Structure 1
Amino acid sequence: MSIYHHRVARAGHHVALAGAAALTATLALAAPAAAHAEVEADTPQALAENVTLSFVSEAESDSAGFTEMRVVLPEGIAPGDVTLGEAPKGWKLKATSDGYTVGGPALKTGVDAEHKIKVRQLPDAKEVAFKTVETYSDGEVSRWIELPSGGEEPEQPAPILTLKAAAPGATPLSPSPTASETPSPTPTPSVTESATTAAGAGTENTAAEEDEGSSAGVIIGGVVVALLVLGGGAWWLAKRRTASSHN
């Protein structure tokens, strides 16, 4: 082989290696990072109503299974706007001050935790994050709560849902009604009120009894006086008759 052909072949080899390296780097950059907790929507659109969100948490423990997921809802979704759709057998949803928890009997080791919720309406935003805290049966806790910052991918990213623009004419719904206490038509008295009422009733009864006793005493006294007067009058009349007979 001539020197010329050797140089051409060598240059082609270097170009092929460079191209392969560039392709590998491109694929590596294009490949998404392994998602340990993720969320999807059947209608990923801002202001969409009655949307079903599907959550998947990847099992990472070699010795324990999931027992609970705690999800922090993004601004625009209230805990009262969420209802449970599907979850592992025996798991239940409980609202918290900033989101909800869903949990129950421990899943088998290595089994991913999947659950679905229905949201009354998605907020008017381009993307929403659902910070998730996972708890295993051995007490281990994994927190997927970090948000992207400065263009860098966080080590423990929160599940993020990208939304399309709202449909024309879509508007936010009014806030969910909250349960309010309705006053009872006949309120039950408190312990203090009952004691006060009982004490008042006792005082009134005592006063009534005293009044009755006083009235009875006055009547009896009057009768005694009347009897004394009558007795004295009878004695005086008898004495006067005796004196007259002697005269």
Structure 2
Amino acid sequence: MSLRTSARRVAAVAAGVLALTVGLALPAFAHVTIQPGTAEKGSFSKVAFRVPNERDDASTTKLVVDFPLDHPLPFVSVRPLPGWKVEVTEGKLPKPVQSKYGEITKAVTKITWSGGKIEPHQFQEFEVSLGGLPEDTDQLMFPATQTYSSGEVVKWADEPKADGSEAERPVPTLKLVAPSGEDEHGAGPSHSASPSAAASGGPTLHAENVAHSPAASDGTARLLAGAGLAVGVIGLVVAALALRRGRGTPAA
């Protein structure tokens, strides 16, 4: 076997390993998620719905996020996003829900972003301020629907499996944890909306122009770096074996 033939085989093997590695890794970070993934119970928190575009031949043009009705949120604020139109939908609850702000009879049921575009291999974050988060549950689920310019619609609404493994299209989930660092009066953030809005049965909605904070790491960079390292190691091993055979065998 000639060195040229060995080199061709090494390149083919490396390309195949790279394609397989990247193909297996893509589902791990192509999900629609909520960032950060945790917030304190009873608090006001700013979160972002992170939407990657995992298609090579279409752009994401619409996102619809459904809000929980069993634990309605009294206060919802949407941060404007240039190039995108946002529509906040309110609805009457199946039955009134009691909260520390009063009885809630109407709340946000979904938020729709449209008119913009997330190109292939890009992502976008859609920011929302939520409050007051419930204190009687450990998580809130926000089913999301992602629409592409090709007409394809993907629903991210699968709940975790019974065995604890990740679902195929996991629902964006906000974990709620016990409060920490509150003052003795349990005072909330200064930008919180007036509780009287919740008592009257309707959430308070407004566009919130606040400084952008760095998004929580989604691990994508580390995942790709790991995949690249694995491919590099495999390529070196295969190349070494091929060169050793080439030296020990007469040229064809």
The TM-score with structure 1 as length reference comes to: 0.51
Could you tell which deviates more after superposition, 137-146 or 87-96? Answer: 87-96
> Contact 1:42–1:52 (CA<8 Å) still a contact in 2?
no
How far off is 1:33 after superposition?
4.1
> How far has the Cα of 1:94 moved from its partner?
2.6
Supply the distance in 2 between the matched residues of 1:42 and 1:129 (Cα, whole angstroms).
11
- Offset, 1:42: 9.1
Counterpart-to-counterpart distance in 2, 1:107 and 1:35: 13
Q: Which residue, out of 91, 95, 111, partners 2:85? A: 91
What are the equivalent positions in structure 2 for 1:153-192 lying under 5 Å apart?
153-166=166-179, 175=198, 177-178=200-201
> Quick one: distance in 1 between partners of 2:151 and 2:82?
19
Equivalent residue, structure 2, for 1:111 = 122
Q: Residue by residue, what CA displacement relative to the aligned partner does 1:22-77 show, whole Å, maximum 9, x if unpaired?
A: xxxxxxxxxx943511112497101102x111110110122221111111112323
CA 1:88–1:108 in 2, change beyond 3 Å: closer, same or farther? farther
Provide the alpha-carbon RMSD of the alignment.
Answer: 3.0
- The 5 A counterparts of 1:82-231 are 82-95=76-89, 97=91, 98-124=109-135, 125-151=137-163, 152-166=165-179, 175=198, 177-178=200-201
Where 2:151 maps in the other structure, the secondary structure is coil
Larger radius of gyration: 1
Identity between Structure 1 and Structure 2 (%): 25
The reply on whether 1:73 has 2:85 as its aligned counterpart is no
Q: How far apart, in 2, do the equivalents of 1:35 and 1:64 lie? A: 14
Instruction: Work out the CA distance in 2 between the residues paired with 1:136 and 1:111.
Output: 13
Where does structure 2 lack aligned partners over 5 or more consecutive residues? 1-26, 92-108, 188-194, 203-252
User: What letter is aligned with 1:122?
Assistant: L
Q: Normalized per residue, which structure has more strand?
A: 2
Q: Give distance in 1, aligned partners of 2:126 and 2:119.
A: 16
For 1:117 and 1:162, the matched residues in 2 are separated by 16
In terms of fraction of residues, the more helix-rich structure is 1
Residue correspondences, number: 146
1:186-244 deviation line (CA, Å, top 9, x unaligned): xxxxxxxxxxxxxxxxxxxxxxxxxxxxxxxxxxxxxxxxxxxxxxxxxxxxxxxxxxx
**Structure with bigger RCO (C-alpha 8 Å, 6+ apart):** 2
Answer yes or no: is the 8 Å Cα contact 1:91–1:103 preserved in 2. yes
**Deviation at 1:102?**
1.6
- Listed one character per residue, the Cα deviations across residues 121-161 of structure 1 (whole Å, up to 9, x for unaligned) are 21222122111111112211111101113123211101112
Equivalent position amino acid for 2:177 in 1: K
Q: Which residue is equivalent to 1:183? A: none
